[in-house]
């Protein structure tokens, strides 16, 4: 009974996704089952659509820079929260995690109002700042969780052996933290790459991301190109974490000399 | 004959005598919020000796060690290493070797890299590093494991690597924070002897923190018994064990019986005292006592001689108790008996196993020499 129920849930969850991927290969303009043949026509058409390619490039650039910035801020912040005591620590930590709890619409409007108040135009920089705010909590949480697991004794041992605090961080803490940093980066990238709600508020005509672009296209017509684009997005967002997991496992395996 | 020279100021001084206060704590105090972990403590540790800080958890022993290591900052007081005040010296400049309870080997580095870690920051040339690491691995009897990762070694082996990593930098002081408690019973015994031998071989001043009295008594030159942030007693193991300064020390070390009593009068080198049920006994006083002082007698469980009441004969200079065995537990080489006296107090005696051990309900006598009954002042703080 439970098994059947589980199966139904999976079917419920994945059928639309599978439908999108399948329809991407449908040569017909209006998708219907059963499909009449298989074709890459929409993918080809997609690759000639310069606005989509631009959006794709925007998404990649935005995602990458967001990931790097979020990690660059998140790792030292996590270090401070876990390893040091200072006044207002709890408050500051909650503040940085808060964007997870605040509805994205609110966040989107808030940042927009703020920029208006500063009398600045919408720009790529605004989008970037927004995405860093959105993704920072995830990086922070992942890195903090790992840092709690790294015993202080490793660092204390390194210090006692003569390494100064910076050398200790580089030689001991950072390598032990690397998987979490990597995971955090990946998370940040994926979230930035996927985000629609907040990005709708922040994106300018020039800095549209793929999801926003799809959203815009959907308003005009349901072109099968979207299916193709959806398929590409699915492949990307699913394969990236898998690839990363595989690489990190291979890397870790080599380090300990085990296969 | 090897003569060691030490540079003091401009002169070369013949180093004949070892510094009796190589490590010195002066009025040291540590407060965590409202809790006073270490209270106005003074302690001197002689050069080249192995000193154990012994006490129950929360007695401040680890805090004291961490302050010496530079991992905690004292709230007040001074710490000296070889005459130099180190309060403001950061940990990485103190030249100490620390051994942690959970080894703390760097999991992402090979054994070689682990042991060589401290040498990297000491301007040791590459070739010398290799030699030193190999020698250190030989010292801990684990040559040829340099290429392995820590996770591939057993707990005992990891602890030895931690030892190698700490001694390879030739530290001024070796600090060990309960290094054996993560090992299992048999291994612990071996490691204890090994650490003891190694320490004597290297002659490095060592401070060993433990809550295990057997570790403390078996390997130390000096035992410092601590409780509630205070030193209760310090001295050689025999001294601390046989002449415990107070109730806590006598109770913490080994198995002791305590009997409340009132001092009656002096009699030769002994004091005559009376128990609450007016039984008269003789005991050795520790310190000055007056008649009618309240006091307590301490008797080690191992000092009692048991026998059936039917076979009792009085002996010179021996106190005697009579009672019934209410419980016993077999511990391999010896047996623990619990004997209930008429006064309902239960005494604990440990005897070697005899062919016919006493059984529950047996009526027995317990003899103990006057010399093994020590009279202690009642500890008000208790």
Contact B216, B210 (CB under 8 A): yes
> CB pairs under 8 A, 24+ apart, for B269-273?
B270/B370, B271/B375, B273/B297, B273/B375
Give the pLDDT score at A99: 86
Q: Are residues A92 and A167 in the same domain?
A: yes
Contact B217, B237 (CB under 8 A): yes
Structural domain total, chain A: 2
Q: Are residues A151 and A175 in the same domain?
A: yes
Contacts of B34 (CB under 8 A, 6+ apart): none
Average pLDDT over residues B90-111: 92
Q: Are residues A148 and A235 in the same domain?
A: yes
Residues of A in contact with B70 (CB under 8 A): 159-160
Q: Does residue B77 belong to any structural domain of this protein?
A: yes
Q: Are residues A108 and A208 in the same domain?
A: yes
Contact B79, B86 (CB under 8 A): yes
pLDDT single digits (tens) B347-362: 999 988 877 788 898 9
Contacts of B106 (CB under 8 A, 6+ apart): A154, A157, A158, A172, B113, B114, B117, B150
On average, the pLDDT of chain B sits at 88
Give the pLDDT score at A32: 66
Full domain range(s) for residue A34 = 1-39
> If you search the block for the tokens 């913490």, which residue do you land on?
B252
Average pLDDT over residues B243-266: 89
Q: Does residue B362 belong to any structural domain of this protein?
A: yes
Q: Are residues B119 and B205 in the same domain?
A: yes
Distance of CA B243 to the CA centre of its chain: 15
In A, minimum Cα distance to B150 occurs at A256
Inter-chain contact B98–A160, Cβ cutoff 8 Å?
yes
Residues of A in contact with B97 (CB under 8 A): 160
Please check whether residue B182 touches A, CB under 8 A.
Answer: no
Q: Are residues A50 and A3 in the same domain?
A: no
* Best residue of A162, A177, A179 to probe chain B, by most B CBs closer than 10 Å: A162
Strand B294-300 with B256-267, pairing: antiparallel
Bridge partner list, B176:
B99, B208
Q: Does residue B198 belong to any structural domain of this protein?
A: yes
Phi and psi at A105, nearest 5°, equal -60, -45
Contacts of A145 (CB under 8 A, 6+ apart): A180
Q: For residue B65, give the 3-state DSSP assignment.
A: helix
Q: Are residues B101 and B239 in the same domain?
A: yes
Q: Are residues B215 and B274 in the same domain?
A: no
Q: Does residue B9 belong to any structural domain of this protein?
A: no
Give the pLDDT score at B354: 76
Q: Are residues B64 and B188 in the same domain?
A: yes
Give the pLDDT score at A163: 93
Q: Does residue B11 belong to any structural domain of this protein?
A: no
Average pLDDT over residues B191-217: 91
Give the pLDDT score at B135: 93
Q: How many residues does chain A have?
A: 259
Q: Where are the alpha helices (DSSP H) in chain A?
A: 2-24, 41-48, 50-83, 89-97, 104-117, 124-149, 152-160, 165-168, 174-194, 197-202, 210-220, 224-256
Q: Is residue B261 scored above 50 in pLDDT?
A: yes
Please state, in angstroms and as integers, the Cα–Cα distance from residue B1 to each residue in A37, B4, B12, B19, B258, following that order: 97, 10, 18, 20, 52
Under the banding of pLDDT at 50, 70 and 90, the label for residue A253 is: low
More reliable by pLDDT, A52 or B54: B54
Distance CA B228, CA B294 (A): 25
Q: Are residues B237 and B271 in the same domain?
A: no
Distance CA B299, CA A228 (A): 89
> If you search the block for the tokens 């301007």, which residue do you land on?
B123
Phi and psi at A250, nearest 5°, equal -65, -40
Distance CA B261, CA B268 (A): 19
Contacts of B329 (CB under 8 A, 6+ apart): B335, B336
Give the pLDDT score at B379: 66
Of B71, B100, B121, Cβ closest to residue A162: B121
pLDDT single digits (tens) A167-179: 999 999 999 998 8
| Nearest one of B289, B377, B367, B265 to B323, comparing CA atoms | B367
Full domain range(s) for residue B191 = 19-248
Give, for B29, the enclosing helix (H) or strand (E).
Answer: strand B23-32
Give the pLDDT score at A258: 38
Average pLDDT over residues B5-26: 64
* Furthest C-alpha separation in chain B: 79
Give the pLDDT score at B6: 44
Q: Are residues B237 and B337 in the same domain?
A: no
Q: Are residues A199 and A103 in the same domain?
A: yes
Give the pLDDT score at A252: 61
Average pLDDT over residues B183-210: 89
Please check whether residue B91 touches A, CB under 8 A.
Answer: yes
Strand B346-352 with B270-275, pairing: unpaired
B275 CA: distance to closest CA in chain A (Å): 52
Please check whether residue B165 touches A, CB under 8 A.
Answer: yes
Average pLDDT over residues B167-192: 89
- Domain of B337: which CATH number? 2.40.50.140
Q: Does residue B46 belong to any structural domain of this protein?
A: yes
In B, minimum Cα distance to A168 occurs at B92
Contact B258, B296 (CB under 8 A): yes
Under the banding of pLDDT at 50, 70 and 90, the label for residue A160 is: very high
Contact B82, B94 (CB under 8 A): no
Please check whether residue B132 touches A, CB under 8 A.
Answer: no
Q: Does residue B55 belong to any structural domain of this protein?
A: yes
Q: Are residues A74 and A197 in the same domain?
A: yes
Give the pLDDT score at A21: 83
Under the banding of pLDDT at 50, 70 and 90, the label for residue B208 is: very high
Structural domain total, chain B: 2
Q: Are residues A29 and A74 in the same domain?
A: no
Q: Is residue B9 scored above 50 in pLDDT?
A: no
Q: Are residues B162 and B192 in the same domain?
A: yes
The answer to whether the peptide bond before residue A25 is cis (omega within 30 degrees of 0) is: no
Average pLDDT over residues A58-83: 93
Q: For residue A179, give the 3-state DSSP assignment.
A: helix
Distance CA B358, CA A68 (A): 76
Q: Are residues A218 and A235 in the same domain?
A: yes
Please check whether residue B371 touches A, CB under 8 A.
Answer: no
Interface of A with B (CB under 8 A): 151, 153-154, 156-165, 167-168, 171-172, 175-176, 255-257
User: How many other β-carbons are positioned within 10 Å of the β-carbon of residue B9?
Assistant: 6
Give the pLDDT score at B170: 92
pLDDT single digits (tens) B291-303: 888 889 999 999 9
Average pLDDT over residues A217-235: 80
Please check whether residue B230 touches A, CB under 8 A.
Answer: no
Q: Is residue B110 scored above 80 in pLDDT?
A: yes
Q: Are residues B227 and B322 in the same domain?
A: no
> If you search the block for the tokens 């310090």, which residue do you land on?
B234
Contacts of A173 (CB under 8 A, 6+ apart): A79, A147, A150, A154, A155
More reliable by pLDDT, A39 or B39: B39
- Domain of A74: which CATH number? 1.10.3720.10
Inter-chain contact B102–A257, Cβ cutoff 8 Å?
no
Q: Are residues B244 and B261 in the same domain?
A: no
Q: Is residue B163 scored above 60 in pLDDT?
A: yes
Q: Does residue B195 belong to any structural domain of this protein?
A: yes
Distance CA B145, CA B127 (A): 18
Domain boundary among B248, B270, B302: B248
Q: Are residues B318 and B204 in the same domain?
A: no
Domain boundary among B248, B279, B298: B248
Distance CA A165, CA B91 (A): 10
Q: Are residues A57 and A185 in the same domain?
A: yes
Q: Are residues B264 and B231 in the same domain?
A: no
Q: Are residues A97 and A177 in the same domain?
A: yes
Q: Are residues B138 and B218 in the same domain?
A: yes
- Domain of B135: which CATH number? 3.40.50.300
Give the pLDDT score at B339: 93
pLDDT single digits (tens) A101-126: 888 889 889 988 888 888 888 888 88
Bridge partner list, A21:
none
Q: Are residues A59 and A157 in the same domain?
A: yes
Domain boundary among B218, B248, B278: B248
Torsion sign over Cα A238, A239, A244, A247: positive
């Amino acid at each position: 009974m439970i098994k059947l129920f589980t199966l139904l849930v999976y079917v419920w969850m994945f059928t639309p996704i599978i439908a999108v991927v399948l329809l991407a290969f449908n040569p017909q303009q209006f998708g219907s089952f059963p499909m009449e043949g298989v074709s890459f026509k929409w993918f080809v058409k997609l690759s000639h659509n310069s606005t989509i390619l631009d959006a794709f490039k925007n998404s990649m650039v935005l995602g990458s820079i967001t990931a790097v910035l979020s990690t660059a801020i998140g790792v030292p912040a996590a270090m401070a929260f876990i390893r040091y005591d200072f006044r207002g620590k709890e408050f500051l930590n909650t503040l940085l995690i808060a964007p997870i709890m605040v509805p994205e619409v609110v966040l989107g409007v808030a940042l927009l109002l703020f920029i208006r108040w500063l009398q600045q135009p919408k720009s790529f920089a605004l989008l970037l700042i927004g995405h860093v705010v959105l993704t920072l909590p995830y990086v922070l949480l992942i890195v903090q969780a790992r840092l709690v697991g790294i015993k202080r004794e490793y660092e204390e041992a390194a210090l006692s052996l003569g390494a100064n605090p910076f050398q200790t961080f580089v030689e001991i803490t950072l390598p032990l933290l690397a998987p979490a940093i990597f995971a955090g980066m990946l998370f940040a990238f994926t979230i930035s790459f996927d985000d629609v709600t907040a990005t709708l508020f922040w994106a300018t005509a020039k800095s549209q991301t793929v999801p926003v672009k799809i959203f815009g296209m959907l308003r005009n017509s349901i072109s099968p190109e979207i299916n193709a684009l959806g398929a590409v997005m699915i492949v990307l967002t699913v394969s990236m974490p898998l690839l990363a997991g595989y690489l990190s496992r291979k890397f870790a395996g080599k380090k300990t000399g085990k296969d | 004959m090897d003569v060691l020279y030490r540079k003091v100021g401009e002169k070369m001084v013949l180093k004949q005598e070892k510094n009796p206060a190589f490590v010195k704590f002066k009025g040291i105090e540590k407060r965590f919020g409202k809790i006073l972990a270490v209270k106005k403590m003074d302690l001197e540790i002689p050069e080249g000796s192995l000193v154990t800080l012994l006490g129950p958890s929360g007695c401040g022993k680890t805090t004291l060690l961490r302050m010496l290591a530079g991992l905690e900052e004292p709230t007040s007081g001074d710490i000296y290493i070889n005459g130099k005040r180190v309060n403001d010296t950061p940990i990485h400049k103190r030249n100490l070797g620390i051994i942690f309870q959970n080894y703390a080997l760097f999991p992402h580095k090979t054994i070689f890299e682990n042991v060589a870690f401290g040498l990297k920051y000491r301007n040791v040339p590459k070739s010398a590093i290799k030699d030193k690491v190999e020698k250190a691995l030989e010292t801990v009897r684990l040559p040829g494991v340099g290429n392995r990762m820590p996770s591939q070694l057993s707990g005992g082996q990891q602890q030895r690597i931690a030892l190698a990593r700490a001694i390879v930098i030739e530290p001024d002081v070796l600090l060990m924070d309960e290094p054996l408690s993560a090992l299992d019973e048999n291994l612990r015994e071996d490691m204890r002897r090994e650490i003891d031998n190694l320490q004597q071989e290297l002659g490095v001043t060592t401070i060993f923190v433990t809550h295990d009295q057997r570790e403390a008594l078996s390997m130390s030159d000096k035992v410092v018994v601590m409780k509630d942030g205070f030193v209760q007693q310090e001295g050689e193991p025999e001294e601390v064990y046989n002449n415990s300064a107070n109730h806590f020390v006598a109770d913490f070390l080994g198995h002791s019986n305590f009997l409340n009593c009132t001092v009656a009068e002096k009699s030769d080198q002994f004091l005559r005292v009376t128990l609450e049920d007016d039984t008269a006994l003789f005991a050795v006083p520790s310190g000055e006592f007056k008649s009618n002082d309240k006091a307590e007698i301490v008797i080690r469980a191992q000092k009692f001689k048991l026998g059936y009441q039917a076979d009792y004969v009085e002996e010179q200079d021996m106190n005697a108790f009579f009672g019934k065995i209410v419980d016993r537990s077999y511990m391999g080489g010896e047996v623990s008996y619990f004997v209930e006296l008429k006064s309902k107090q239960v005494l604990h005696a440990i005897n070697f196993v005899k062919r016919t051990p006493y059984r529950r309900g047996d009526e027995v006598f317990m003899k103990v020499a006057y010399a093994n009954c020590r009279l202690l002042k009642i500890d008000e703080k208790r």
